Amino acid sequence: MQEAVAHIFKTDPSKPLPLQDPKGNIQYSLGEPKGTKYDVECFLLQSLSTSGDAVPCTQVKLSCTGCKKCNFNTSIPSSQQRTVQETPDAWQEVFQKTLALFCAIQESGCPFAAEVSAEDIIPESPSEDSEISSIPAAQLLYETLHDSCACEKDELQCPGKIVFCRDSFHRPFLQCEHRKKGHRAHLYLRNLQEIDSVYLEALFCGNMETIRKYEEQAYAGGFGPLVPCDVVCSAREQKSLCLNFHRNKDGKLTRGVIEHITKCPARFEFYYPNNANDCPFIAVICRNPHSHSNPIPSHATPRRLHMESSFLTGLRKLLGWSELREPTLSDLHPSLGNTDHAGRIISEVRNQVYPFGTGFEGAKKIGNEQALLPKELIYVRTVETHDIKGQAAFHLIICMFPGMSALLLETKRISIDTSFKRVHKWQEFEIEAWFSQYNRSVVVARAFINSQSSEVHLVLFQRIFGIAEADTDGHRGQAIGWGKFCQSLCQSMTGYCAYDITKPLHMLTPSDHLKRCYRYCFSHFTRHVHDLRSHVVENVRTAMMSLASAEELPLAVYTQIVATIRGGGKKAVDWFRDKEAADGWALAAIYRPKSKIPVHIWKAAPSTSNGNE
């Protein structure tokens, strides 16, 4: 017996049919028309002028073209909707980031231009920079496939392999085998704070015992290269290789091949009334269930929409969202992953989303909503009205993320631009600076004012830099204040600390709490060490930086680091003494083994975040 489902869509006869044709919003890929008939009577639709009569329509028949899936996807095609993967735990996140880094490096290699041909390379003698002559090639455990839709690799690109090394202070780093003294224009990656260096080293050096241990643990958790792939995509998808990496039967890491594996029995019938004014509806009938799961829409929703904090706030409320990752429109409904479909809906509800408009009152509403967000997500910082003696009151709106505040205070040369064109009756004020480390110009503050007097600009500058200074307050009072806050929360709690079962929660000191939840921002730590360059020699500063480690250093290495710092002069001694003060919570915020934070949680958190639990 044939199954069928009917849908009826309301249309607006005054609008062109292509803009509201439901055919363009179907998640599945549809083939070419299988037949078109005219003046077909459809009993699902009713005429507005005569009741009970069938409506003459144009009938269009289309078929589902099925789907594609990865050749490592061994599951039987099913029409059942795939469940959304839950937020990964800390260990899973670190594992996946490490594997992704290794695969990306093997795929892209050294991005710099080749200086000499491969046969002309002279093996480098052992030195302080690296000793790579005996390091095995990671390519033995990795298979590179070429995506026919991807760009060809530049023939002039450096052919050198990327190797894993450690320096004299046991810090891990990656570099091209051709990088050496006098030849520095090659890949060099030092900051591996969020990567599992043990697993990464095993991947690069071919330590199958360690690799097997990690990947079998991942397999038990339902992820990793040993787990069958679950990638399903539209039949019209152009890519030929899967985004995920898998272990093939030879034990090599390789990307799966996207294959068209199913013919779907589902058929679609579209009924378009001959007189859209008399019957402003379109009927769609789908016969036979799909033989496969729903593919991900081919056209992703614009990224800028997912960066809009007010949109994400509303989406979280609507979904009752409780996961750590941010929701997307596809979590609301898979079809909303289509750009055009989402765009039409956005246009229709814009007035509902902004009932107060997009002027000053609308900005006040947005500011009040964003005040409830985590600090790092707040963009609209202030929406104020100021009275200046002898002048009319003026409105002030300042927009800047806390991350922009840090950039503002770092810059030495800024440019200020004002515009009267983009926002009617408002002067748009923009502070911009060039950052050589990013090789680009970055906006570090944006504001809107409706007055041009010098007094107004004085208030503007005071508020912008006041916000920036509050955002970047890095003195000890901030951290200790957080520790005291945690202490106050635990005063009435029973039970013992999960990391030290001999200590009751209500007896933990502010320093104890900081050791369990606080770590320094790595970028700020780096900058503060760099600021000592006029007082501390390079070798001592390198030792200081070596303390910023998530993994426990060998005892001999740690002892060497401490001795190097203590022998580096008064500034270095004071620096280390400061880290050991107050029960050493500051040292624990740098060197993870001194803290109580588990290593996988430490690595899973962004290294530039001040708080981590």
Count of domains observed in the chain: 5
CA angle 88, 89, 91 (to 5 degrees): 115
pLDDT tens digits, residue range 499-551? 888 888 888 888 888 888 777 778 778 888 888 888 889 999 999 999 888 88
* Residues spanned by the domain of 53: 4-66+264-287
513 domain residue, yes or no: yes
Say if 229 falls within a structural domain.
no
Instruction: Check if the beta carbon of residue 149 is closer than 8 Å to that of residue 137.
Output: no
Strand partners of residue 442: 433
Express each pLDDT in 15-57 by its tens digit: 888 878 888 777 677 777 678 899 999 988 888 887 767 889 9
pLDDT value of position 611: 33
CB within 8 A of 204, min separation 6: which ones? 102, 135, 138, 162, 163, 164, 174
Question: Mean pLDDT highest for which of 165-179, 228-242, 401-415?
Answer: 165-179
Q: Where are the alpha helices (DSSP H) in 30-89?
A: none
Same domain, yes or no: 137 and 200: yes
Average pLDDT, whole number, for the chain? 78
pLDDT computed for residue 563 by the predictor: 92
Our measurement of the distance from residue 17's CA atom to the centroid of its chain's CA atoms, rounded to an integer in Å, reads 38
Evaluate if residue 272 carries a pLDDT over 90.
yes
Confidence bin at 340 (pLDDT 50/70/90): low
- Indicate whether 245 belongs to any domain: no
Angle between helices 522-530 and 538-546 (to 10 degrees): 160
Residues 537 and 449 in one domain: no
pLDDT of the residue at 170 = 86
What is the pLDDT, as a whole number, of residue 83? 45
Co-location of 404 and 309 in the same domain: no
**What DSSP state is assigned to residue 535?**
T
At residue 199 the predicted structure's pLDDT band, cuts being 50, 70 and 90, is very high
Q: What is the pLDDT of residue 560?
A: 92
Please give the backbone phi and psi of residue 583, each rounded to the nearest 5 degrees, phi first: 65, 20
pLDDT mean over 49-68: 84
- Report pLDDT digits (tens) over 555-576: 999 999 999 999 988 888 888 8
The answer to the question of residue 84 being in a domain is no
pLDDT reading at 133 higher than 50:
no
pLDDT at 479: 56
Of 220, 247, 275, the domain-final residue: 220
pLDDT band, very low/low/confident/very high, at 213 (cuts 50, 70, 90):
very high
pLDDT of amino acid 126: 37
On whether both 98 and 214 belong to a single domain, the answer is yes
Lowest mean pLDDT segment, chosen from 125-134, 196-205, 217-226, 575-584? 125-134
Of residues 426 and 556, the one with the higher pLDDT is 556
The mean per-residue pLDDT over the stretch 478-491 comes to 69
- Under the banding of pLDDT at 50, 70 and 90, the label for residue 390 is confident
Q: In this model, does residue 554 exceed pLDDT 80?
A: yes
Where is pLDDT greater, at 484 or 439?
A: 484
Q: Are residues 514 and 438 in the same domain?
A: no
Residue 257: inside a domain, yes or no?
no
Convert the pLDDT of each residue in 446-468 to its tens digit: 888 887 776 777 788 778 888 88
Decide if pLDDT at 149 tops 60. no
Q: What gap in Å lies between CA 441 and CA 542, rounded to an integer?
A: 30
Q: Residue 132: which of 102, 169, 160, 90 has the closest Cα?
A: 160
* Residue 206 and residue 171 in one domain: yes
Could you tell me if 458 and 523 lie in one domain? Answer: no
Asked if residue 456 belongs to a domain, the reply is yes
In a shared domain, residues 378 and 343: no
Determine the 3-state secondary structure of 417 from DSSP. Answer: strand
Residues 333 and 420 in one domain: no
Task: Choose the weakest-confidence range: 182-186, 359-363, 422-426, 515-519.
Answer: 422-426
461 and 505: one domain?
no
Q: Indicate whether 423 pLDDT > 60.
A: yes
Q: What is the mean pLDDT of residues 155-159?
A: 79
In a domain, 296, yes or no: no
pLDDT at 428 over 50: yes
Output 436 or 567, whichever has higher pLDDT.
567
Query: Which amino acid type is present at position 289?
Result: P
Residue 226 lies in a domain: no
